[in-house]
Every structure is written in structure tokens, then in C-alpha cells.
Chains A and B, each alone.
Chain A
Amino acid sequence: MSAQQSALGNLLADVAKAVRDMSDDEFEKLVKGELRPSISFKERGSGIKGRKPSPILSEERLRSIQTKLDAARTREEGHQIVQEAFPMKEGLFIFAKFLDLPVQRKDKIEKIQDKIVTATVGRRLSSEAIRGGYSAK
């Protein structure tokens, strides 16, 4: 592969990632033509470390995913939400940190997904099963 092919491949991969990381609302607006994409170029950093979270992983966006998980009725549904929201490891890692979960950069994607679903949907379902309909109020 030539250097030009490689650069073009990276560019398309960045575009694909930006589309994947969009929220449902943002994507709908893009399809309707209400949202216009803009592309900016900057020099690549030396690595992931020190890179600031992407704007599409704003706190508001992370909270909206957390809210979706709060409403999930099964662990499978939770996995689906996480996989769709964070197809890349970086986003997944940022979300796990946002939830204050004990994850490491060397953890595999599947492991981080499991931790997120267990700590949110799984823990809630376990609690409901044991409480049997009684609440602490």
C-alpha cells in the first residue's frame, strides 16, 4: 500500500468513526440536511495519551447513554446500547471512566463492555430480583 493510499484510508476511517459516534438526533439532522459536516485538519499527536475527549463524547452525550442503560430491561439490551454507542475502544474507555469503573487501557473491548453492562444494567437487575418488589422508601 502506498503512503497516499494509507493516508486516504485513514481519512475515510476518521469519517466513518465520526458518523458512528454521532447521536441518533445528530444523525437524523444530518440525513435531513439540517446538520452540515465540517472537516478540519490538525497534526497528529504522538498517541492516545493526553488526547482530549472528542466533542461527540461530551458529558451530555455520555449522560444520555447512561440514561439509556438505566432504562434497559435486559443485559443483552445493555450490551447492544454500549456496542452501538461506542464501537471503538477509546470511546468505550472514556465512558467507563465517566462511570468511575475500574478499567485499564490494556483491557479488551469485550471486557470493558462487560464491566459497563454489569455495573449498570446487571447490578440494577440483581437488586430488583433480590428485593422482590420492596423499596427502601
Chain B
Amino acid sequence: MQIVSVINYKGGVGKTTLTANLAAELAFRGKRVLLLDMDAQCSLTFSFVTPDYWRDELGGDGTTGSDKTIKSWFDGIGDDDLETPELGSLIVPNLKVAESLPDNGGKIDLIPSHLGLINVDLDLAYMLSGVPPGRVKRQLAKVYGLLRSHLGKYVAEAKYDIVLIDCPPNFNIVTKNAIVASDGILIPAKPDYLSTLGIDYLVRSYGSLVKEFNTGSGSDDIHPEILGVVFTMIQIHGGQPIRAQRDYMQLSNISVFSSQIRENKTIFASAPEDGIPVVLHGYKQPTYSSIVSEIESLAVEFCEKAGVK
């Protein structure tokens, strides 16, 4: 079993699209996939359920119904007066995507996100109030490890093959929880100047977090592996990425996936609204089927790098 965080400091790099399609292809290949949306923008959640269902049935915006999102779990952790729900109780039932999967044991389960997740940092910070200065580091490391202890236990029982965590484009306590809980880190990036700088920021923050956790938590050391960078939103000309993008694809100090995902607004723009990721559509148009092939290729390479059998 592998828990993998999908993250980039830079927003707008196709992170959620990559996560949804990778999950769909893995499920199509018979893998049991759990998706955990930790981004308060809820984009991954809205790739599989409609916003009105999320609001009315999952309480995702805080206006109606009881909260059945990952925020309720963080709320329970941060407030002794609230009950902490089992992560498994937050899985959205009957996703539409299941209808597009073959009957081979593969599945996608989703734990949805909440608009208020952006405030969870403050709530968790209260957990540190009153802690003597000398113990803050240890306590902070324990906060970071909360998801690790809960998710690891739950996932082991439910026997998922892979857990993909869609992280927000920042490094707050929520993101740190995801990284600490993970066995691997997957970094989607656009091949441009600022996106590649975002990779370096992430490497620094990741390194600092691992060091902080391993010296302060008092629990087992963590060693999440950076699986590599997947270049997304590639513009193809003459059968290869345009030269201006190739210029930024030669990274010598981090592993880079050979699989790449090209830009195509025609099919990527509308797919989330259907609730069915692009890779599960049977396109006949050569350009579209090429994109499906690229995602299939990425899934194979991902399984090799992440050790998913």
C-alpha cells in the first residue's frame, strides 16, 4: 500500500486533473484507490460530485447538513468537545465514475474537501497554546503526524492499493499532515520558469519538514520519497514539446517522469463537470486518444516508481 501526496507550490499546474485521471486509470486497471481532497478549493471533489450534492449532502460549505468532509476530521482532532469521525465514514458513496469502470475489483473512493479547510491551520494552532516553549517542537511534530496515524491504520484495514492526497498549493499544517502521512510525493509542474522554481521551494520545505518531524516527534522517522516531477500542460509541435517548454524540462537535480501530459482545453476543461475523468472516455479522434495514451503511460510509470503492484 502506498500513500502519495500530489503537490506543487505553484497553482494552476494541472495538479487536480492529474490526480483525478491517474486515479481513474489505476482503478480501470483494477486498483483500489482512495482519493483524499485536502485542497480547500475542492477541485478534486468537484471532479467527482456536483457542488449542489456536496453542499446539501456533504455539508461542504458549512451552510446545510452535517459536515461529512475531511474538515470534520480536523475539527475533531483540534477540539476536545467534538467527536472525531472515522475517516472511512467520510467516504462519498455511489460516485458516478464507478459506472465507467470495468468489473475487475478496481474502485475509486473519495473523501471530500470543505471550503473552511483553509481555516484549519488556526484551529490546530490552538492545540499548541499553553504548551511550554521547550515542548512546542515535539507537540508540533505530533500535530503534523495526526493524519499519518489515522490514515495508515484505516487504509491498512480497508486494503486500498493506493491513496492519493490532493494537496493545496501551500505548505500549511494541512499540507504538512499530508506529507508526513505519505510514502511518496508526486510533483506536477508546467514547464515554465515560475513552476520550476516552485519545485525548488517544495524540495526545501519538504526537506525542512522531514528534518523537523524526525528530530521532534518522538515517533518513528518518516522518509517520504519524491517520486518525481510530471510535466503537464505540454504544447506539442512537430510531435514534441515546443522548444520554449523543452528548455525548462531538463532538470538535473530531481527525478523527472518520462511520461508527459499535453495541454488540451477541449477535453480537460469540461471533463470534471461530467464526473468522469478524460482517461475513461473512449475517444476516436487521434489527438484525444493520444492524451489518453499519455495518461495510461503515466499510470504504468507511476506504479513502477511508487511500487504499486
Contacts and interface: CB of A to CB of B under 8 A. Distances in A.
B247 interface: yes
A37 interface: no
B219 interface: no
Interface in A122-137: 123-124, 126-127, 130-137
B254 A136 contact: yes
Given A100-B250, A134-B207, A127 B243 contact: no
Contact of B247 (A101, A131, A133, A134): A101
What secondary structure prevails in chain A residues at the interface with B?
loop
A97 to B, nearest CB: 10
Interface in B195-223: 196-197, 200-201, 203-204, 206-208
Given A127-B253, A134-B206, A134-B207, A100 B200 contact: no
A72 B122 CA distance: 45
B96 interface: no
Given A134-B204, A134-B208, A100 B253 contact: no
A127 B247 contact: no
Contact of B200 (A101, A119, A127, A137): A127
Contacts of B203: 131, 134-136
A102 interface: yes
A130 B247 contact: no
A126 B253 contact: no
Contacts of A102: 243-244, 247
A15 B288 CA distance: 55
B226 interface: yes
Interface string B182-201: 00000000000000110011
B247 A136 contact: no
- Leading 6 A-B pairs by shortest Cβ distance: A134-B207, A130-B200, A136-B254, A102-B243, A136-B226, A131-B204
Interface of B: 196-197, 200-201, 203-204, 206-208, 226, 243-244, 246-247, 250, 252-255
7 contacts: A100-B243, A100-B246, A101-B243, A123-B196, A127-B200, A131-B207, A136-B203
